[in-house]
Amino acid sequence: MKKLPIIFSLPAVALAKAGLFLPCLCFAQTTEGVVTYTETIKMKIEVPEGMDEAEFRKMVPSEQKASKTLVFTAQECLYSDAPDQAPGGTDATFNGGGDDGNVQMNFKIQRPENYQYRDIANGKRIESTEFFGRFFLINEEPKRMKWKISAEQKQIAGYLCQKAVLQDTARQVEAWFTPQIPVSIGPGEFADLPGLILELSTNNGDRSVVADKVELKTLDKKAIEKPTKGKSVTREEFTKIRDEKMKEMGATPGGGGTMKVIIRN
């Protein structure tokens, strides 16, 4: 009986010039509350020759979804799994296929634990992230993101939003933000638009984050806590650790936003 390993690679603004064509609205500019998002990550599966691909694809989901929250004030924010989000994971056993018709695979897809904190006033970020059972704590001062704002508009979670595209990067990132909530933040690392980001799409939808609910309210003083869990490393050190591990397992470093499953004999 062949036992096949499975490898996972998770990838972890000027208004006047851009032309922000939003109607004149009368609203209170509240800068405190909680946004609930649905995050979707597509899975790309490479199945080797000789395996029953149709049966395997029935067993493995084509995407992973998770409920996330962004808790924010005008000074700081924290993006993480929603409090009621069950631990992510898919367990399965596949029998059949292969040259001798006797192949067994046991695999598990697990969503890592991740907390992303931003000190808005001072332009600093802290990320606590899990990678293969180890936790890392990354402190950084990220460069300001450059966006190109278009005139396209749509409604998201009851708010009128404007489209923007991230510039000067190899990634394809499309964001929809609302000036009705004037905080320059969004899900995870994304920020620096003249309003709260309510929808994101990276690399043609390989990863998407869409707001389901926005609650503007006064928060408890302890609602936002800085992450402290993990070994302190720089962003460069963490990237090197991650990429070396992925190469060791035969996966492509990086990954953009797609969860890639590679099956090898």
Closest CA to 55 of 106, 96, 116: 96
What mean pLDDT do residues 106-115 have?
Answer: 72
- Band of pLDDT at residue 265, cut at 50, 70 and 90: very low
Q: What percent of the chain has pLDDT over 90?
A: 52
Q: Which of 13-17, 41-45, 55-59, 232-236 has the highest mean pLDDT?
A: 232-236
Average pLDDT for the chain: 79
- Checking if the pLDDT of 135 tops 70, the result is yes
Q: Give the strands of the sheet with 103-110, arranged side by side.
A: 2-3, 103-110, 89-95
Q: Write the single-letter amino acid at 246.
A: M
**pTM assigned to the model:** 0.77
Burial of 92 (0-12, 13-18, 19+ CB in 10 A): middle
How many CB atoms are closer than 10 A to CB 16? 6
In this predicted structure, what is the pLDDT of residue 218?
94
C-beta of residue 224 within 8 angstroms of C-beta of residue 77: yes
pLDDT on residue 156: 98
237/252: higher pLDDT? 237
What residues does each domain of the chain span?
2-263
Give the pLDDT score at 113: 87
Taking only the tens place, the pLDDT of each residue in 159-215 is 999 999 999 788 899 999 999 999 999 999 999 999 999 999 998 888 999 999 999
Mean pLDDT of 33-40: 96
Does residue 96 carry a pLDDT above 70?
Answer: no
Query: What local confidence, expressed as pLDDT, does residue 112 receive?
Result: 81
pLDDT given for residue 44 in this prediction: 72
pLDDT in tens, 37-86: 999 988 776 666 666 667 666 666 778 888 999 999 999 999 999 988 76
Span 138-144, mean pLDDT? 94
**Does pLDDT of 140 surpass 80?**
yes
| The pLDDT value given to residue 56 | 67
Q: Which long-range contacts (CB under 8 A, 24 or more apart) does 143-152 make?
A: 144/192, 145/190, 145/191, 145/192, 145/193, 146/13, 146/192, 147/13, 147/175, 147/192, 147/193, 148/18, 149/13, 149/15, 149/18, 149/19, 149/20, 149/193, 150/18, 151/19, 151/21
Lowest mean pLDDT among 14-23, 51-60, 76-85, 143-152: 14-23
Contact call for residues 195 and 181 (beta carbons, < 8 A):
yes
